[in-house]
């Protein structure tokens, strides 16, 4: 996953609305959105390493992952980062405990950002800095840098969400248009991440299409108090492949469904790696 934005409104009827694009090499095999046979997980699946980039489970837990763009990283074999998403969705640790346990071994993986929602908290981990982030209500996002780093495509997506006042009533077609923006950033706005200029320009689009690499899936997740909606459209080098939409009732009433919807305000960020 290379671009994620969300509207986190814990006091609303739709506490979490999430939009995401997964960018990957076209040749890397993957299954589209489906219920996994070996777990109560709804997600696509990477057939090369077995993990996933974005998923939910029947309890309303959500996890999503982006890679941190670091072209000069060493080529030492490391565990798949996609396993982290699957592990959280199949486990029972809440977000703070899962991230605390993960932070002390984050260096075992190539750099990543992990976003977790446990039914009460929306939190993230920036593995490169061992930084756990307690995300506050409102519109936020992450791409292939730290949380809310102002890359042009992330700013555009967040601004579009803000301008449209997107809430639980927005339909999938409206939201999908935001993820299909193929405009490139002006050269002066491009981040400098160590890749060649032409590649940096190509990667600056919300929706990427190139000869061998591009946006493979656009996903929309809407988590309500008792119901989840998950829409995904997948793509190959020649364009759209499949569109899948799933609706299901959560197996347990999530904490925000109670009469007391107050969210404990946590510190904005903290570093906990040893």
Residue 116 CA to residue 239 CA, distance in Å, equals: 30
pLDDT of residue 157: 96
- Determine the pLDDT at residue 172: 85
Write out pLDDT tens, residues 27-60. Answer: 999 999 999 997 899 999 999 999 999 999 999 9
Q: Distance between CA atoms of 91 and 85, rounded to whole angstroms?
A: 10
Query: What pLDDT sits at residue 135?
Result: 97
pLDDT at residue 166 in the model? 58
Q: What token pair was written down for 164?
A: 């449209």
- Which residues does the chain have with pLDDT short of 50? 253, 257-274
pLDDT of res. 80: 93
- Superfamily the domain 3-271 falls into: Penicillin V Acylase; Chain A (3.60.60.10)
Best CA proximity match to 31, nearest among 42, 20, 53, 47:
47
Q: Are 83 and 63 in contact (CB under 8 A)?
A: no
- State the pLDDT at residue 165: 63
């Amino acid at each position: 996953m290379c671009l994620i934005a969300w509207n986190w409104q814990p006091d609303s009827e739709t506490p979490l609305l999430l939009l995401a694009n997964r960018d990957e090499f076209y040749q890397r095999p993957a299954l589209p959105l489906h219920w996994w046979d070996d777990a109560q997980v709804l997600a696509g699946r990477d057939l090369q390493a077995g993990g996933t980039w974005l998923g939910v489970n029947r309890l309303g837990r959500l996890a999503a992952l982006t890679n941190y763009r670091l072209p000069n990283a060493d080529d030492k074999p490391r565990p798949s980062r996609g396993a982290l998403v699957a592990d959280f969705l199949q486990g029972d640790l809440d977000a703070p405990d899962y991230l605390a346990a993960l932070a002390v071994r984050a260096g075992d993986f190539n750099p990543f950002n992990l976003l977790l929602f446990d039914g009460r908290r929306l939190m993230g981990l920036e593995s490169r800095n061992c930084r756990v982030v307690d995300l506050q209500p409102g519109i936020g996002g992450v791409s292939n840098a730290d949380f809310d780093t102002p890359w042009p495509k992330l700013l555009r997506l967040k601004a579009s969400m803000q301008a449209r006042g997107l809430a639980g009533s927005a339909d999938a077609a409206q939201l999908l248009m935001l993820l299909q923006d193929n405009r490139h950033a002006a050269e002066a706005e491009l981040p400098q991440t160590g890749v060649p200029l032409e590649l940096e320009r190509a990667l600056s689009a919300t929706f990427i299409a190139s000869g061998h690499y591009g946006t493979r899936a656009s996903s929309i997740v809407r988590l309500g108090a008792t119901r989840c909606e998950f829409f995904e459209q997948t793509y190959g080098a020649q364009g759209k492949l499949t569109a899948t939409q799933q609706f299901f009732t959560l197996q347990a009433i999530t904490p925000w469904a109670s009469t007391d919807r107050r969210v404990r305000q946590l510190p904005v960020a903290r570093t906990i790696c040893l």
